[in-house]
Structure 1
Amino acid sequence: MAARKRMALALLAQGNGLHPASWIAAGGPTDCSNDISYFADMARLAEKGLFDLFFVADTPAARTDNLDAWSRYTPYMNCFEPITLLTALAGVTSRIGLGGTASTSFYEPYNIARLYASLDHISHGRGAWNVVTSGNNYAARNFGEDKLPPHAKRYARAKEFVEVVKALWDTYDDDAIVYDRERGVYFDPAKFHVLDHQGEFFKMHSALNIARCPQGQPVIIQAGASNAGKELAAETAEVVFNSDDELADAKAYCDDVKGRTAKFGRTPADIRVLAGFTPTIGESKWEAEDKYRQLQELIHPLVGKVRVASDLEADVSDLDPDQPIPLDRIPQSANLHTRYFEQIVDMIKNQKLTLRQLWQRYERGNKRVLGTAADVADTMQEWFEAGACDGFMMIFPTLPGGLESFVARVVPELQRRGLYRTAYEGRTLREHLGLKRPASRYARETMKAAG
């Protein structure tokens, strides 16, 4: 009898947590963003909870306007560069996967291939790259542009970028480095492959100067919600993040992305979809709701407005917070985060909320649950067994407290129900997720030639 499928869990790790007032309310150290010991403790706690992945989101930019608002709400205003942080964490953990964001709009493929290959070697096969095209114009200004290129162009570059990176990861065959002291041969030249690439965005005659990774290739993560994003995910991703907050929508997204894999020579089993999940855990539902209410009350109006404005891609600073947003303020389409834009527009048009109500309720999607450990486990089980996801990206409003409660109270409940592992069974991230180790493209070509 086949073993029962178990859900995967990833932790989105960011300072005091993901709530805009978390740094005020979390109760942890206020200087944690630059404290490697703080992140090491968090990674070890997630590993104690048998999480598949410790994940660091990023944008290569600080905000440079509306500083009265951003000084109260600090995403990416004071943070480690992800690869540096994850490499340090590789030395204080042994099993949990280590994934981070790097943008195809502002790196070059060779840099990314080398950085993530190094992470995979240093962590003994636990590295993962989150492919993003970037979603704010602050980053563009750091690299000589006034604003991001159009959405379609960013995704076209990303597609070619990933193709080149994966080819570079196959520079060496698995057995290319022979260390033959008697013959004085370090590697077999026949098993070393130079990439000649000339495309729309990149022209390269190139080879990567590091052995093939323990995982063959680091795990590829993607989170696109637009049609172009879902196409890129179906073609290249192995882990996909989804932020739908309704079960039916999440299942439709999961089925859609996995249903696109066949045309790229892949199968649904090649992808793990993780749903964004934001629990607030209490001894009772009332206590959890009260915790959430207290957090929401800490959102400053300037912060509320800038959060709405960022994803609506429109200025709302002059609007009365106790009136609805005029429909003529809504842009025709998004150029930054399509999924978030669509969610916030839907709330404006269909829920008729005031601006204040909007910033109080808007959560960038993701399923929010307020309740006991059993309530949280019930929702996770419902989504998982309905096929809405293969697991969850855990997004805690406050850290480390949210993670501590989850590991102590929800993890045992999931294990009792047979939904979650009781021990790591492998050592690499691919083994945790049940993903196959990719064969080198050159090995595949040799096998095809041999018949």
Structure 2
Amino acid sequence: MARNHMILSAFFFNPQGDHRMSWRHPRAPGREVLGFDYYRELVQAAERARIDTIFVADHVSIWDSVKSGVAHYANARLEPLTLLSALAGVTKHVGLITTASSSYSEPYNVARLFASLDHISQGRASWNVVTSAMDEEARNFGRDGNIEHAFRYQRAAEFLDIVKGLWDSWEDEALLFDKDTGYFADPDKVHVLDHRGAHFKVRGPLNVSRPPQGHPLIVQAGSSEDGKNFATAHADAHFAIFSTREDGIKYRQDINDRLARHGRRPESFKILPGILPIVAASEAEARERQDYLQTLLPDRVGIDLLSSWSGIDLSVYPPDGPLPQLPDESTFNGGRTSLNRVKQWATQNLTLR
């Protein structure tokens, strides 16, 4: 009987480590995180360890809404599709996942970028679809603030349909390379998309032939109601964060119910729960290492992070007091996954500090 395979994905967002202040650790690399050799060593090590995928997350801004974000946060990172295209040439098996925003990109560009990565990697590309939750991102694309939450997901659904349609605009056998007849491609197997929708008008076809996977793997990371509905309708896999095993079981059941409403079976959809492992010889040593990392986080940065996630300026509240009343998810236009995480902490009677 076949055994279920646990998918292991190595997450790279902050290049020196996932803790916000990992870059301050004495053993953390410095400027080399902006060079290729650093990532090549990491990803080749992941491949040797039989890690299934690497995930290079991204957003299209720096965190500069507060001074501590620029001063203390590791904002500088490489553009991920360029990086993964290079890493494809020095790896053979590991999957290559990265982010592209449906709110601040165009479908044709995204379709050709991921089709190209899929060809370069011989079928290992994966697109993490995000709608972008930060006002800082919006201000880099001609807006004063972020797009309304539900509207972002409506736009994303149409965006993804177009991208898949463009990938399908070349049939599998469209390329001929027939030197005798002079036919490079069969014109009957290359199709105009001619999409006209509420948000986009895209003619097509794509100028990259059909990706080796047909459709590169689609991943989604938002855990809001809109995010989970979008994921179960459109994605192959879903990144999620929960604090306990019981929460994870409830989350999986919720996802299964949503999949059923879309006529999908649970085995067609993978959930990849995020964890931050701290490796040590014992639990006591691991907790000591965790405590040390926490000492590297300035109080002001922690308060600013919580403020960013909750949409409330928490710097005006006593650091040793409780969290104030938090916004209702239905009216919150930022990242609702982060908001709900802060709400969960609030139920544990934690102080801001």
Q: Check whether TM > 0.5.
A: yes
Match of 1:271 in 2: 269
Structure 2 unaligned regions, length at least 5: none
The answer to whether the 8 A contact 2:148-2:333 is kept is yes
The reply to whether residue 351 of structure 1 matches residue 348 of structure 2 is yes
Matched residue, 1:42: 42
In the alignment, the residues of structure 1 paired with residue 192 and residue 73 of structure 2 have an alpha-carbon distance, to the nearest angstrom, of 47
> C-alpha separation between the residues in 1 aligned to 2:339 and 2:324?
16
Q: What CA deviation, in whole Å up to 9, does each residue of 1:146-174 have, x standing for no partner?
A: 11111000000001100100010011111
Q: Is residue 22–residue 28 contact of structure 2 (8 Å, CA) maintained in 1?
A: no
For 1:237 and 1:32, the matched residues in 2 are separated by 34
DSSP 3-state at the match of 1:274: strand
Cα shift at 1:265: 4.1
Pair 1:70–1:318, CA change in 2 (3 A): farther
Who is 1:433 aligned against?
none
Residue 323 of structure 2, aligned match among 300, 322, 325: 325
CA contact (8 A) 2:18 2:276 kept: no
Counterpart of 2:57 in structure 1: which amino acid?
A
Distance in 2 separating the partners of 1:351 and 1:260: 29
Equivalent residue for 2:11? Answer: 12
Contact 1:103 1:131 in 2 (8 A): yes
**Match of residue 88 from structure 2:** 90
SS at structure 2 position matched to 1:101: strand
Which whole-Å CA distance do the structure 2 matches of 1:247 and 1:26 have between them?
A: 33
Distance in structure 1 (CA, Å) of the matches to 2:299 and 2:67 = 14
Whether the 8 Å contact between 1:33 and 1:78 is mirrored in structure 2 is: no
One-letter code aligned to 1:31: R
1:60 and 2:56 equivalent? no
Query: SS of the counterpart of 2:208?
Result: coil
**Structure 1 residues 69 and 129: CA distance shift in structure 2, 3 A:** closer
For residues 343 and 73 of structure 1, the distance between their equivalents in structure 2, rounded to whole angstroms, comes to 20
8 Å contact kept, 2:16–2:22: yes
Contact 1:16 1:32 in 2 (8 A): no
- Taking a change above 3 Å as real, the CA distance of residues 64 and 296 of structure 1, as seen in their structure-2 partners, is closer
Deviation at 1:142, TM superposition (A): 0.3
SS at match of 1:119: helix
Q: SS of the residue aligned with 1:175? A: coil
Per the alignment, do residues 263 and 68 of structure 1 end up closer, same or farther by CA in structure 2, a change over 3 Å counting?
A: closer
Instruction: Give the conservation status (yes or no) of the 8 Å contact 1:15–1:32.
Output: no
Number of equivalent positions: 350
Q: Distance in 1 between matches of 2:301 and 2:68?
A: 9
Deviations 1:106-145 (A, max 9, x none): 0000000000000000011110000000010000000111
Paired residues for 1:16-415 under 5 Å: 16-25=16-25, 27-74=27-74, 77-327=75-325, 330-333=326-329, 334-348=332-346, 350-356=347-353
* Cα displacement string for residues 43-67 of structure 1 (whole angstroms, at most 9, x for unaligned residues): 0011011111111111101133322
Residue 18 of structure 2 aligns to a residue whose secondary structure is coil
**Aligned equivalents of 2:156, 2:32: Cα separation in 1:** 33
Q: Is the 2:58–2:98 contact (alpha carbons within 8 Å) kept by the matching residues of 1? A: yes
**Partners of 1:104 and 1:157 within 8 A in 2:** yes
1:409 alignment partner in structure 2? none
**CA-to-partner distance for each residue in 1:361-409, whole Å, 9 max, x for gaps?**
xxxxxxxxxxxxxxxxxxxxxxxxxxxxxxxxxxxxxxxxxxxxxxxxx
Aligned equivalents of 1:89, 1:308: Cα separation in 2:
34
Amino acid at match of 2:233: E
Q: Structure 1 residues 352 and 219 mapped into 2: Cα distance closer, same or farther (>3 Å)?
A: same
Task: Compare relative contact order (CA 8 Å, sep 6+) and give the higher one, 1 or 2.
Answer: 1
Distance 2:207 2:262 in 1: 29
**Does the CA-based 8 Å contact 1:100-1:130 persist in structure 2?**
yes
Question: Which amino acid is the alignment partner of residue 23 of structure 2?
Answer: W
Matches of 2:260 and 2:66, distance apart in 1: 46
Identity of aligned residues (%): 40
